Amino acid sequence: MGHPSGGGVIDFTSEDFWSGTRRPLDQATGLPPVAYTGDDFFEVEQHRLFARSWVAVASASEVAEPGRLLVRSVGGTSVLITRDRDGVLRGFINSCRHRGTELTSEDCTVSRMIRCPYHRWGYALDGSLVASPLFDEVPRADFDPAELSLLPVRAETWGLDVFVCLDEATPPLAEWLGDLPERMAGYGFDGWVAHQKCTFDVAANWKLITENFQEYYHLAWVHPELAKVSRVRDHYRYQGPGLYCGQTTTPVSSDERDDWLVLPNAPGLDSSDSVSGRFVAVFPNLTLAVLPGHAFVIRLEPLSSGTTREHCTLLLPSSTPAEQYGDAAAETLKFWIEINNEDIDICERSHRGLALGGAPPGPLSPRFEEPLHRFQNMVADCMTANSLADGLRIPPGDGPDAGPRYGCGPNPALPSIDARRWSATG
Ligand code: FES
Ligand SMILES: [Fe+2]
């Protein structure tokens, strides 16, 4: 519940709050300012959205080795992610089954066991309780280690990232992602390697950052340099069924600046992937910019209504020769950091306007902002649904017939999955 300045209480879980979002795109408005700036809204959103969604928590390569142990906060719950001796990815609630103590407070590597620092209870990497020192000195009849395993949390990988979900009722990750794994299968993400990481704390709500990523309306004014290699007229939508919003630049041009094409292509890309940049915002908190020879991935960690930590990773295909790791990767990373800084500046300004001015939501552009409408309806679904088992609509993808809203005419190198889908639907 929230209290607007004029008194009364707003119920963020009621469809009434989302009426502007629920209208068709050509009548829809953006989200009300309180959805970005309200601490009450943030609280409800943590529970209803982040504690029930598949949330990106790490690069897959961060937990590639058995015994690596990551700590992440998801929807206000502390979660451990590890890989057991059999290579199985595991997620647990970060709380000891004895008296609830936090097991670890930072990423680390353990040899065989996760040890509680308090009374040294020890858990194998599959979560089972395997040590409880001195506990048997005066035995209890009801003490059964098999009932005192760490509480499991759903954890899965797709592509470049690890996802966890705190709610058993939420559909499986494969359903969540829809056609995205098949759509991007040609990149062979399993073999990609995290090359450089950096973090930024941004004074803006997390939704502003992903929404900004989802539209290229701002391209020419916010990123004059990027617009030289990623021209507005070369953008098309890149959306099949699934909880993501996507666009593609086809072709990526190298005639004016080539700093995002200096790295060699991943092997075996088809005629569409090899000439395109894919820009995909996976709901809720991951953005992927995938070029033929590298990817720049941002994971958003909401810290408060007005602060978001960006975890940025530059990834390269494993085929990239080591001699390219120096200058070419550095040049690529520098390019992305510059672009990202421009985005951070405009998102912080956007947040200030909403927080300190708070104009009512305006119209979304049907030409450029359909992905935001798609995203905002996913947010609305999470906030209003009693359960994500049936309350979350997986949006359908684009069809062949939506005309200029999907780009500037037909994509000259249509993604193969769309070519197949569209010819099947006639
Ligand atoms: S609280 Fe963990 S061993 Fe006692
Ligand atoms: Fe941007």
For residue 131, give its domain range. 55-158
Give the mean model confidence (pLDDT) for residues 21-26: 96
Question: Is 11 domain-assigned?
Answer: no
Please give the distance, rounded to the nearest whole angstrom, from the Cα atom of residue 221 to the centre of ligand 2: 9
Nearest to 97 by CA among 82, 115, 81, 85: 115
Alpha carbon 250 to chain centroid, angstroms: 23
Same domain, 337 and 238: yes
Question: Is 74 domain-assigned?
Answer: yes
Q: Ligand 1 in contact with 116 (CB < 6 A)? A: yes
Give the mean model confidence (pLDDT) for residues 124-129: 98
Same domain, 189 and 133: no
Average pLDDT, the chain: 92
| pLDDT for 258 | 65
How many domains does the structure of the chain reveal? 2
Distance CA 375, CA 263 (A): 32
Please give the distance, rounded to the nearest whole angstrom, from the Cα atom of residue 367 to the centre of ligand 2: 17
Question: Is 352 domain-assigned?
Answer: yes
> Which ligand 1 atom sits closest to the C-alpha of 103?
2
Question: Is 43 domain-assigned?
Answer: no
Q: Whose CA is nearest to atom 1 of ligand 1?
A: 99
Provide DSSP, 130-191.
EE-TTGGGS--TT--GGG-PPPEEEEEEETTEEEEES-TTSPPHHHHHTTHHHHTGGG-GGG
Same domain, 205 and 330: yes
Same domain, 186 and 304: yes
| pLDDT for 105 | 97
Report the run of H or E that residue 90 belongs to, with start and end. Answer: strand 89-93
Q: Is the distance from CB of 248 to CB of 415 less than 8 angstroms? A: yes
Confidence category of residue 412, pLDDT binned at 50, 70, 90 = confident
Q: Ligand 1 in contact with 194 (CB < 6 A)? A: no
pLDDT tens per residue, range 351-404: 999 999 999 999 999 989 999 999 999 999 999 999 999 888 999 888 777 655
Confidence category of residue 136, pLDDT binned at 50, 70, 90 = very high
Residue 3 has pLDDT above 70, yes or no: no
Same domain, 251 and 293: yes
Interaxial angle between packed helices 206-214 and 327-356, expressed in degrees from 0 to 180 and rounded to the nearest 10: 120
Nearest ligand for residue 215 CA:
2
Q: Ligand 1 in contact with 104 (CB < 6 A)? A: no
Q: Which of 124, 158, 192 finishes a domain?
A: 158
Specify the range with the lowest mean pLDDT, choosing from 2-16, 29-43, 172-186, 333-347.
Answer: 2-16
Same domain, 78 and 187: no
Site of tokens 């930590």: 309
Same domain, 271 and 194: yes
pLDDT tens per residue, range 190-219: 989 998 899 999 999 999 999 999 999 999
Same domain, 223 and 94: no
CATH number, position 143: 2.102.10.10
Which of the given ranges, 6-10, 214-218, 346-350, has the highest pLDDT on average?
A: 346-350
Nearest to 80 by CA among 110, 103, 46: 103
| pLDDT for 54 | 98
Q: What does each C-alpha distance from 132 to 115, 168, 204, 275 come to in angstroms?
A: 10, 29, 45, 58
Question: Is 245 domain-assigned?
Answer: yes
Question: Is 278 domain-assigned?
Answer: yes
Question: Is 42 domain-assigned?
Answer: no
Sign of the CA dihedral running 155, 195, 279, 355: positive
Distance CA 201, CA 134 (A): 45
Please give the distance, rounded to the nearest whole angstrom, from the Cα atom of residue 118 to the centre of ligand 1: 5
Please give the distance, rounded to the nearest whole angstrom, from the Cα atom of residue 404 to the centre of ligand 2: 21
| pLDDT for 398 | 84
pLDDT tens per residue, range 49-81: 999 999 999 999 999 999 999 999 999 999 999
Total residue length of the chain: 426
> Which ligand 1 atom sits closest to the C-alpha of 100?
1
Give the strand pairing for 122-124 and 244-249.
Answer: unpaired
CATH number, position 259: 3.90.380.10
Same domain, 244 and 131: no
Q: Ligand 1 in contact with 99 (CB < 6 A)? A: yes
| pLDDT for 423 | 82
Distance CA 200, CA 180 (A): 27
Question: Is 26 domain-assigned?
Answer: no
| pLDDT for 408 | 67
Same domain, 134 and 213: no
Same domain, 368 and 318: yes
Q: Which of 125, 158, 191 finishes a domain?
A: 158
Q: Whose CA is nearest to atom 3 of ligand 1?
A: 119
Q: Which residue has the higher pLDDT, 230 or 162?
A: 162
Please give the distance, rounded to the nearest whole angstrom, from the Cα atom of residue 328 to the centre of ligand 2: 22
| pLDDT for 252 | 85
Residue 145 has pLDDT above 90, yes or no: yes
Residues 6 or more apart whose CB falls under 8 angstroms from that of 340 comprise 200, 298, 310, 312
Residue 2 has pLDDT above 70, yes or no: no
| pLDDT for 310 | 98
Residue 256 has pLDDT above 80, yes or no: no
Residue 425 has pLDDT above 80, yes or no: no
Same domain, 209 and 82: no
